Amino acid sequence: MAGLACALALAKAGCRSLVCERAPSLQPVGAGLQLSANALSVLDQLGLKAALAERGFSASSVALRDGASDRLLALVPVESGQDGYIAVHRADLQSVLLDAAMADPSVEVRLGLSFQRVESQANGLSVWFLGADGSQTTVETSLLIGADGVHSPVAAFAGCKPPVDSRLVAHRFSIADAPGPEIEAWLAPSSHAVSYPMRKSGERNLVVVEPVGVPHGAPDSRDWNPRLSDFLTRGDYLGAWPLLTVDADDRLRSRERIVLIGDAAHAMFPFAAQGAAMALEDAWVLASCLATKATIQEGLAAYAATRLPRIQRVLKRVSFHRRVYHLGWPLSLARNLAMRVRPEAAMRADLSWLYDWRAEPIAPPL
């Protein structure tokens, strides 16, 4: 997602780009994701917001509930002005971005190419890729953008620190017959669950986050309230994913002609539902910085200086959510009471700095 969005943003800045993808074909993989107004503003600038809105679900709030009783603790407002909040299947976002990239003459997409190494040249870089058939491909470029995930080979080649295992795991389920626009989260000691719609056909995403130390396999439905237990029983179990993080300070620092975006730059826990949003922000900000600075080096320095403070603030919020969501008794009682009495306007203000960010138009090339 980050790579395709960045290529489209660069096209707005008058730059041509080549997107190299390791997979030999782009399949509709993944599960659901949530896009807040800050993310939707990027899609709006790309002219893709309406197309995605047709496939997803709009939401105005997230219901926080007690994991054992299902009692409502708080309705957290998530809208920002008229820009809304959308829950959608990851494959639908990928499809919208890919269709736009394939239709843009400034963007070329090549599949089945795995990054190998890069060498500096007098006026740019030589990047080597290994093809699915074992052949070698060399690309001459002025800039290499690593949008290749938490296990980024580009980051590893650049000498970045490896990912860190959080000792948490995310169990994912898909529920085929649970229609409705509600986004809900259930809080429990050391774990939490989130459910939201992905497609208008009724398909719903369910994620349960818990410590690695529990027995392997799907979560025990008996640990939750009857309604959530029913979701777990009926859902199609998609597997467990370890939650990994990276050192954002290390990965976002300015490098000469190599830059990281998305999870490759700042993989984060899903406790604030901002992973996809930050990737889209990265893509737009990087293109904007490159378009407004005289040199690539100045553009990369501006990107790092702009993104790092915001990413650090998001990561702090994510850590706060992790602590609050996973509180055990009796601290959970105090948390629940505080949530019930906190005014909606105050909860909205808590996240205004996050949701109210907007992608500014990129000036067209001269």
Q: Which of 22, 215, 178, 4 is nearest to 90 (CA)?
A: 4
What was the pLDDT predicted at 199? 81
What was the pLDDT predicted at 215? 57
What was the pLDDT predicted at 63? 95
Can you tell me the mean pLDDT for 289-314?
96
Domain spans, the chain: 9-19+31-106+144-165+245-355
What was the pLDDT predicted at 219? 78
Of all residues in the chain, the percent with pLDDT exceeding 70 is 96
Q: Give me the count of residues in the chain.
A: 366
Q: Which CATH superfamily is domain 9-19+31-106+144-165+245-355 in?
A: FAD/NAD(P)-binding domain (3.50.50.60)
CB 174 within 8 A of CB 30: no
CB 174 within 8 A of CB 203: yes
In this structure, the strands spanning 136-141 and 204-211 are unpaired
What was the pLDDT predicted at 30? 67
Q: Which of 315, 21, 24 is nearest to 147 (CA)?
A: 21
What was the pLDDT predicted at 26? 76
What is the per-residue pLDDT across 105-131, written as a single tens digit (0 to 9) for each? 999 999 999 999 999 998 899 999 999
What is the per-residue pLDDT across 150-194, written as a single tens digit (0 to 9) for each? 999 999 999 999 999 999 999 999 998 776 778 999 999 999 999
- The HSE-up count of residue 146 (CA atoms within 13 Å, CB side) is 31
User: What b/e string do you get for 118-145 counting C-beta neighbours within 10 Å, with b at 16 or more?
Assistant: beeeeeebebebbeeeeeeeeeebebbb
What is the per-residue pLDDT across 3-34, written as a single tens digit (0 to 9) for each? 999 999 999 999 999 999 999 887 766 678 99
What was the pLDDT predicted at 366? 53
Instruction: Give the pair of three-digit tokens for residue 213.
Output: 């130390």
Report the C-alpha gap between 281 and 303 in whole angstroms: 11
What was the pLDDT predicted at 21? 95
- Our measurement of the distance from residue 116's CA atom to the centroid of its chain's CA atoms, rounded to an integer in Å, reads 25
Check residues 26 and 319 and name the one with the higher pLDDT: 319
For the chain, what is the largest distance between any 2 Cα atoms, rounded to a whole number of angstroms? Answer: 65
Instruction: Give the pair of three-digit tokens for residue 338.
Output: 């505080």
**Helical axes 275-292 vs 37-45, angle rounded to 10°:** 40
Residue 83 pLDDT > 90: no
Residue 286 pLDDT > 70: yes
What was the pLDDT predicted at 357? 96
Most confident of 142-146, 188-192, 216-220: 142-146
What is the per-residue pLDDT across 234-262, written as a single tens digit (0 to 9) for each? 999 988 999 999 999 999 998 989 999 99
| DSSP character string of 20-88 | EESSSS------EEEE-HHHHHHHHHTT-HHHHHTTSEE-SEEEEEETTT--EEEEEE---TTS--EEE
**What is the Rg, in whole angstroms, of the alpha carbon atoms belonging to the chain?**
21
Can you tell me the mean pLDDT for 74-84?
83
